[in-house]
Structure formats: C-alpha cells, structure tokens
Amino acid sequence: MANKKPPGHATDSVGRLKELDECYISVPGYKRNRGRIILKILPEIQDSKGAAYNDETIMGRSIPLKTFSHGENRQITMNCPFMVAEESDIFKNLSDLKALESAVYPRIDNVGGNPFLPPPVCKIKCGSLFASSTNGEGESVCAILKSYSVSFPQDVPWDQKYYLPYKFSIALTWEVVYTTEELPGQEKILISGGADV
C-alpha cells in the first residue's frame, strides 16, 4: 500500500501527461476516440449567464418595478492548451484541432449532398464545473460552438510534416442548449451544487 500513488498526479510513471477522463469535448461525426477529445491539461474556463428584466413604471413610486423578462444565453469560453509529449501526439492534436474547427461548419445532407443541416450540437464536460447531478457526479452539457480562435506560437518546436507547433492553444466560445424538458431553474442549480434549498 505504501507504493500506491495518490490521485491527482498530472503525469504517469514515465512523465507522460495523463488524460483527464472527466474533461472532454464530444464532437458528433468525429471518428477518433468515440468522438471524444479528452483533454490532458485543464482548460482556462469562463462561464457566464445573465437575466433580462424590464422596468415597469408606477405612478408615485420612487423607482420602477422590475419584472423578469427572460434568461440570457449561458456562454462558456474555454482556452484549451495542446502539447506534444510523444510522437503520436502530433497527429492526435491535429485531428482534435480539425474536429473542433468542424463544429462551426454546416453538415452535409447525406441524401442530397446539400449543406443545409446546421452545425452539430456537441457535449462538453469538465468534472462538475458545468453541470452535476443530485449525487454530485459531474455531467456533460449540450452546447453549440459559436466561434473558435487558434493561436500557433513561433517560439516552440514544430513538426516538419504538418508544421504543427508542439504547443498551441485554441479558444472556444460555446452557448449551452437545452431541450424544453431539461431547462434549468434555480432549484435545480442549488441542488446540483449541494446547497440546501
């Protein structure tokens, strides 16, 4: 038992980065790894959502009454770093990059070959940061990719076949989408976070 490695190490016994099994992006149609891009480095994440209120003026009242109009889109931005630790990472990183880029393009109808289908709805997960069930288990959320921006630095080694730098990052802007039955309310958010309602 003394030789057992405590959880949380980012690398394996020979220094390779471990995959973060609970931090992934699932892109429909992607053939590698069951459609999942499993990250090896925790991405930088920003998660934002707003609520829109209307002002209702009432005669004699010193301030307008606020009436809830609607919820704004929940937007998640992720800055995902990719690194090459071994030779097989080069093609894997390039494939993952192309899969992410593909998520903003319309799909082609298999019957007529027309690009009239909207881009795919992806699933994103990073532990329990985006969603969690009542037992605290992390869950994925469905999201559409609104934009991506990839940065290829000049100050790192690069592969001579693909010209892919050994380290690069891609910034992704997602908007979370829900089916009508799964729309979240305050109670659901409180319970999934472990707060007493």
Q: Where are the domains of the chain?
A: 23-192
Q: Give the span between the Cα atoms of 21 and 58, in whole angstroms.
A: 55
Q: Give the span between the Cα atoms of 32 and 34, in whole angstroms.
A: 6
Q: Give the span between the Cα atoms of 179 and 166, in whole angstroms.
A: 39
- Residue 146: the pLDDT is 97
- Residue 116: the pLDDT is 76
Provide the token pair at 175.
Answer: 């908007």
Residue pLDDT, tens place only, 21-32: 899 999 999 998
The helix/strand count (H/E) of the chain reads as: 2, 9
Q: Give the span between the Cα atoms of 122 and 129, in whole angstroms.
A: 17
Residue pLDDT, tens place only, 93-102: 999 999 999 9
Ranges of the chain with pLDDT below 70? 1-8, 15, 112-115, 134-136, 180-181, 183, 188, 191-197
| Statement: 23-192 belongs to CATH 2.40.240 | no
Provide the token pair at 152.
Answer: 């290829």
Contact yes or no for 136/128 (Cβ under 8 A): yes
Sign of the alpha-carbon dihedral angle for 122, 127, 133, 137: positive
Q: Give the span between the Cα atoms of 22 and 175, in whole angstroms.
A: 20
Amino acid, single-letter form, for residue 52: A
pTM: 0.81
Burial of 184 (0-12, 13-18, 19+ CB in 10 A): middle
